[in-house]
Structure 1
Amino acid sequence: MTATAPAGRSPARYSRWQLLAYGLPGLPLAGLGVPLFIFLPAFYAQNRGLSLEAVGFALLLARLWDAVSDPLIGLLSDRITTRFGRRKPWLFAGAPITCVAIYMLFVPPEGAGILHLFGWSALLYLGWTMVQLPYTAWGAELTGDYHERSRITAYREGMLVLGTLVAAGMPAIVSAAGGGEETSTVLTVLALFLVIALPAAITIAARFMPERPKPATPIHIRLDWRAGTALLLRNKPFLRLILAYLLNGLANGFAATLFVLFVDKGLGLPGETDILLLVYFLAGILGVPVWLAVSRRAGKHRTWIAAMLANSAIFALVPLLGPGDYLAFLAICIGTGACLGADLVLPPSMQADVVDVDTADGGGSRAGLYFALWGMATKLALALAVGIAFPVLDAAGFQAGGSNDADALLTLSLLYGVAPVILKLTAILIMRGFPITAERQADLQRKITANIQPITVRR
């Protein structure tokens, strides 16, 4: 494999070492996600004395900033080409912003309140977008092959799950090392790990995995923003996929946001949170090759539907649990964790496929814009989960740092166990009969190759 590949072409298969190098930044990026959505909301509510409603509002407001930053960065990363590529420079520019914001958010000074949480969250989301968005667009552009895209995604998402395991297991690691079990200590260690690991991983990925050059634009296309927007809105597979992705992301967001509170207050097992998280994400890693194998036979969207159905059937048992039901919840964590592998690998691979619809219809090379919109959907889903769940719990009289009555615990159980099932079943209905199969995607690639001219036209 050489440092570059011709536009419109890619290797039949990248080497494992190349894919490991490409996937490596996923590890610290996932290590950032776990504390941000699982540990941090509860930390600011329980240790900093902020109300659940205030924490939820601050994080939701910070996420809304992405409505501006995501499409802007997506468009710029599509249009700006340097001698180092289109995507890689953004990763190097976003890393220092992300690292500074991580430390300030995870290791807040005394007296840090709601403005500190909002301000540094907003800056963190900006830096994160500058890294995550071009990183995923880079992966989508590495190949035009239907199944190789799933393989590339599997390495990246596998590293994401591994990073999640590291972050989820950090409380146990810190405790075993004699650092105690305080959340503040765990967040400090995680912050130090991330500010070292993220720049190092980006450097390795940039060194060993090439970018495919931007393909030449079909010579007859001169796309202004109005025409580009109209073309995007006519991309029906994209609209279906992003809506299902948003609903499934909201379902997963409820589960992630409320996991610590449910184990602590709903099951009365605060000491088991770490091991349950480890089991859940380990099952996710082990499930990835299984879902990949199934998708090669059944197709990506059918396999994703099957995984969401299985997840819903298992998660529907959550409201039946009560205090002390450790083994039953452990089994649920194993089952839903195994389904997580499909959520991680298949939707991002399908995202690259629906970009082909846009490219084949004359949209040019706009993976950055599309992945910006998917990034917004991901972040909106997680923000809505916090912005909805915490105020509802607050209205029900739920106390994160105290005791709760039966009504408050029932509200927690319904939000954690029932809401995700309803959302996933709705996503399944949307994805039924999804039109982009392996055969259809191969046709799109042939059309793209036929339209590309050997010169680049100024647009």
Structure 2
Amino acid sequence: MTPAMRDRRWAQVLYGLPGLALAMPTIPVFVFLPTLYADDLGLGLAAVGTVLLASRLVDGITDPLVGVLSDRLTTRWGRRKPWILLGGLLAAPALVMLFLPPDGAGIGHLLTWTLVLYVGWTLISVPYTAWGAELSGDYHERTRITGWREGLMIVGILVAGAMPVLATALGLGEDAGLGLVAGAAIVLGAPAIALLLWRVPEVPLPAGRRRDLGSLWRQARGVLANRPFTRLLAAWVLNGLAGGLPAALFPLYLEHGLGVDEATRDRLILIYFVAAVVAIPGWLALSRLWSKHRAWAAAMALACVSFVWVPLLGPGDVAPFLVICILTGAALGADLALPPAMQADVIDLDALRTGQRREGVFFALWGMGTKGALALAVGLAFPILDAVGFDAQAESNTPAALATLAGLYALAPVALKVGVLALVWNHPMTRRRQAIVRKRLTRLGGETC
């Protein structure tokens, strides 16, 4: 390996490193935070679901705004870096306030700090993911970059999953685990972001490329005219909803559907994410053999075949559910690593057609789709469960309520993923077409990355 290649690989690792800390709060926020405020603090499923959905709707305004600003504004520190720093300064205190709520915390507290957290995450995530798409123009190297980032994010999720166990071992009580997650995310995230901002170079705009100075609406409309992107975005949103439903309902299903205790629940979550990490290199290899979109489709087919058996399980069926966790966890590895790399490829097509580089706008819309899907999962699932009489605090529920829980947890995601498969299987941005686009960009605009 030449020194230049070694430096390139080292930059990829440093780029992916903040993903570890950034991912640590995600599962607690999307899986455990709704249960904490709805169940433990007694705010109710419908109220908490409404607040989280409203927060995400506001977030839908900030995502494209941050995307446009990080594309347009060039500072002495770069286009992406200042926003990431600002986002970290906002997200850190918000995590502490949400995970360690004061006595008497109610709906107002939840709404205020989720808004601050989501704005902070937007300021980090949109420039961060856009930056990753700019680091390389190579079809396979882009997959490695997203593989590093998403793989380290899963490691962060695993570290977060160990926090409740650590809290219990230290005699703090399992409820202190969320506070440890917030502290660990800050302690690990601060130096990782510092190294990112210091050691990873931003890629300057190639010669002949320009930043679109049009209105936000005009930029969004121009991006949405990219048919391969809108097809990919639709698949991503549907897949996000398919993943958001089981994520939001996982604790409730394990407690009320399978009747397992918290220790077993934590072990199953750990196994699920370990399977995702272990599977990522395999999906990357399969994407080299087939293509990114076909490898992703294979992963979704695996998830469907696995999830369809969940409604047949009953209390105590932990062993078959463990197999389902391993298989669906492996499929998650492809969900995380492959679609963002496909996203970078369709951005090249936009650059060729328009002469503009606007990764920030693309990834802002991508982030809006992600967040909207996750919020919609909570905003739909919790009120539906409430409407059928499901009670998270009750020792037992009616068969109809439990059937609804199992259906929302497993069958609805299967139906959604079938729709995603239809969109992805023949996606037009193949390896061959992306290579042609890159060659034309090199000739027209001097792009060499």
Given the two structures, how large is their TM-score scaled by the length of structure 2?
Answer: 0.95
1:224 maps to 214
Question: Partner residue of 1:196?
Answer: 187
Deviation at 1:195, TM superposition (A): 2.3
> AA paired with 1:396?
V
Native 8 Å contact 1:169 1:275 kept in 2: no
Correspondences of 1:3-402 after superposition (within 5 Å): 15-181=8-174, 183=175, 185-218=176-209, 224-225=214-215, 228-271=219-262, 272-402=264-394
* Alpha-carbon distance, 1:96 to partner: 0.9
- 2-structure distance, mates of 1:222, 1:94: 24
Deviation digits for residues 282-330 of structure 1, max 9, x if unmatched? 0000000000000001000001001001110001011111001111111
1:88–1:134 contact (8 Å) kept in structure 2: yes
Shift of 1:443: 1.1
Q: Verify the 8 A CA contact 2:209 2:357 in the aligned structure 1.
A: no
Amino acid at match of 2:437: L
Whole-angstrom CA distance in 2 between matches of 1:401 and 1:231:
48
Selected match of 1:424 from 417, 421, 444: 417
Evaluate the alpha carbon distance shift between residue 311 and residue 13 of structure 1 in structure 2; reply closer, same or farther with a 3 A threshold: farther
| AA of the residue aligned to 1:155 | W
Tell me, which stretches of 5 or more residues in structure 1 are unaligned? 3-10, 455-459
Work out whether residues 13 and 148 of structure 1, in 8 Å CA contact, stay in contact via their aligned partners in 2. no
- Any idea what the Cα deviations from partners look like across 1:206-234, whole Å, max 9, x if unmatched? 22221111223448x97734764453232
Shift of 1:270: 2.3
Which residues of structure 2 form unaligned runs of 5+?
A: none
Please state how far the C-alpha of 1:88 moved relative to its aligned partner. 1.3
Distance 1:304 1:434 in 2: 11
Q: Distance in 1 between matches of 2:330 and 2:273?
A: 8
Aligned to 1:65, what secondary structure does the other structure show? Answer: helix
State the match for 1:5 in structure 2. Answer: none
Question: Helix, strand or coil for the counterpart of 2:25?
Answer: helix
Write the deviation string for residues 336-372 of structure 1: whole angstroms up to 9, x where unpaired: 0011110010001001011111101015110000000
- Distance in 2 (CA, whole Å) between partners of 1:143 and 1:244 is 24
For 1:92 and 1:120, how far apart are their aligned partners in 2? 19
Output the amino acid matched with 1:143: S
Which residue of the partner structure matches residue 8 of structure 1?
none
Q: Distance in 2 between matches of 1:149 and 1:276?
A: 31
The sequence identity of aligned pairs, in percent, is: 51
Count of residues paired in the alignment: 444
Deviation at 1:180, TM superposition (A): 2.3
- Encode CA deviations 1:115-156: one digit per residue, 9 max, x unaligned: 111111011000000011111111000000000000000000
Give 1:448's match in structure 2, choosing from 405, 429, 441: 441
